Homo-oligomer: A and B are copies of this chain.
């Protein structure tokens, strides 16, 4: 069975992804090895400093990473991620996360995600590595064995 199209994969992932939908993230682009997400920062995204919780910015980047690395049609699962926070994010900011797969080997893919705000200022530098399985996304059915590199 050939893998499904990138758009079908991302639509499938997004439909089941309660977190990305809670974030209110919108998919601006999705192709094999690339995705772009956009999100408006809400008041309920703050931490105890009144700035945006790092987990929110990470989650947006992580979703872009998952969409970019899975859009090729085979299930890929996150192994390691790193994130740096060069600037604070605040409610009302509009974030864009751009994920680009840089190198794909037989078993792994290496992806960079940059998150910028409405002033095109970087607010997060994210890198992620996935383990690439040989299981295609089964768009219509059960996901019993998905989501694990074990």
Contact = CB atoms under 8 A, between A and B. Distances in A.
A63 B47 contact: yes
Interface in A17-54: 17-20, 22, 43-51, 53-54
Nearest to A142: B50
Contact of A19 (B18, B53, B62): B53
B125 A102 contact: yes
B58 A146 contact: no
A121 to B, nearest CB: 8
Interface of A: 12-20, 22, 43-51, 53-56, 58-60, 62-63, 66, 75, 77-88, 102-103, 105-108, 110, 112, 122, 125, 127, 129, 131, 143, 146-150
Per CB-CB distance, the 8 closest pairs between chain A and chain B, nearest first, are A55-B59, A13-B48, A49-B147, A51-B147, A86-B103, A19-B53, A17-B48, A16-B48
